[in-house]
Amino acid sequence: MLFNSIEFLLFLPIVFILYWFVFRGRKWQNLLIVIASYVFYGWWNWHFLLLIVFTSFCSYLSGLLIEFYDGRRRAQKCVSALNIVLNLCVLGVFKYYNFFIESLESLLSLMGFHLDIVTISVILPVGISFYTFQALSYTIDIYKKKLTATHDIVEFFAFISFFPQLVAGPIERATNLLPQFHHNRYFDYSQAVDGCRQILWGFFKKLVVADNCALIVNKYWDNYSDYSGPSLLFLGILFTFQIYGDFSGYSDIAIGTARLFGIKLMRNFKYPYFARNISEFWRNWHISLMTWFRDYIYIPIGGSHCARWKVIRNTMIVFFISGLWHGANWTFICWGLYHACLISFMIILGVNTKTTSIVAQGKIIPSIKELAQIVTTFAFVVIGWVIFRAESLTQAYGFLTRMFSTMFDSGKSIYATDVLLYCIVMLLIEWLQRGKQHALVIDSIKTKSLRWGIYLILVLAIYAFMPDTISTFIYFQF
């Protein structure tokens, strides 16, 4: 079920009413969440439910077994490892089997060997990478004694399948989300209002910014060789705003929806396009995934508390896995390694952790130095997103080569001033609100009519400027 669908606009108020007025009490509310989440997820294809039930049950059972073998670390390690391998195998078969088989076949062909390798025809289950990583964090945290196993299976299934963040995150930790299902929730009007504001802003970013950018990007991308360098740069910039409006818009809707049910999800974006270097960009982009990699991969293999060359090695490993996590295509892997190289250069210079404060804090306009840093970082990010968007490395190379080589040559032009205006409006609003949790934190506006005027303007803007075609969210494919 899509957030931007009529079905969801009917589904959400029904579940909300049942949750607060019919299914009273923690246990009944948890049960409703599981039922509602399975309806929400099964709306695409009910067969996908078998996988999420399998993942949930295996992880739930592994937690109980790790607790049962308390004091016997070898047995606990075996249980934890078995669950991790089992879940990764399921993810690998559905998401990566054909990619690895086809890559192996190509490699063997280059060496002179020709094999008849069998691929499989499977539909990638929506959001499998998200809920798999969420389940893995539970098992690992119990093994590391950061968390005690839950015995309430409904509570655990609610944690894995919670519908607002099920298919595209944020990837929640059991230490944060699971305890919230263990305690009673009470309706908080101010929290619900703030949630509605965040939902509204998420819809604006998705429907007005991302979907309009998508119309232009999808129309011209495959015929990039016909267009001039400035037009291709413009196209790359539009995709940069598309993926941000799309993914951060989803996160805003998810976080806001969760607040309607008394649940607090972690922040997933922190205005990443205002970053002053690539390290800061990655501290503010898809925060739930990058902190997952930090805690469960980067730190265990040595983190930054080791020799500089090892820090660079660890960075390369994390971004290689990050690229692979995003999809079974060499473009994603190269995109990850591209960012790893940029961060490694910063590590060599020793400047990768120096910008942690809010940009231009206490000022409306950034300094010339900060502005130059933001523009430079944004330019590197745009190049990365071109690699990410390309269907193959050949297309990525051709796009970037033509973009730079024809920057001052003639060629077809792309005009989309209205779409660019939507992006600028989004940027301006988020710049003014960059110190807030989201762009519609407007409690400081005491005049009620003015606040409602802002809501009305956004609603009318969504209605007036959203395209006719409903598009899915980009990160559903991951």
Catalytic residue annotation: 326
Burial (0-12, 13-18, 19+ Cβ within 10 Å), 304: middle
As a whole number of angstroms, the distance between CA 300 and CA 140 comes to 12
Torsion-angle region of residue 268: left (phi > 0), alpha (psi -120 to 50) or beta? alpha
Phi, psi for 472 (deg, rounded to 5): -75, 170
Cβ-based neighbours of 280, under 8 Å, separated by 6 or more: 355, 356, 377
As a whole number of angstroms, the distance between CA 329 and CA 136 comes to 23
DSSP assignment of 431-444 equals: HHTTTSSSTT--TT
As a whole number of angstroms, the distance between CA 130 and CA 167 comes to 6
In the 8-state DSSP scheme, what is residue 466?
S
Find the DSSP H helices in 352-392.
Answer: 368-389
As a whole number of angstroms, the distance between CA 59 and CA 54 comes to 9
In the 8-state DSSP scheme, what is residue 118?
P
Contact at 8 Å (CB) between 387 and 338? yes
Phi, psi for 111 (deg, rounded to 5): -90, 0
3-class DSSP state for residue 145? Answer: coil
Contact at 8 Å (CB) between 249 and 229? no
Contact at 8 Å (CB) between 282 and 311? no
As a whole number of angstroms, the distance between CA 441 and CA 425 comes to 17
Torsion-angle region of residue 277: left (phi > 0), alpha (psi -120 to 50) or beta? beta
Whose CA is closest to 100, among 319, 388, 322, 330? 330
Whose CA is closest to 186, among 24, 11, 18, 33? 24
- Is the bond preceding residue 170 a cis peptide, omega within 30 degrees? yes
* Three-point CA angle 29, 33, 36, nearest 5°: 130
Q: 3-state DSSP helix/strand/coil percent for the chain, to nearest 5?
A: 70, 0, 30
In the 8-state DSSP scheme, what is residue 412?
B
As a whole number of angstroms, the distance between CA 478 and CA 326 comes to 5
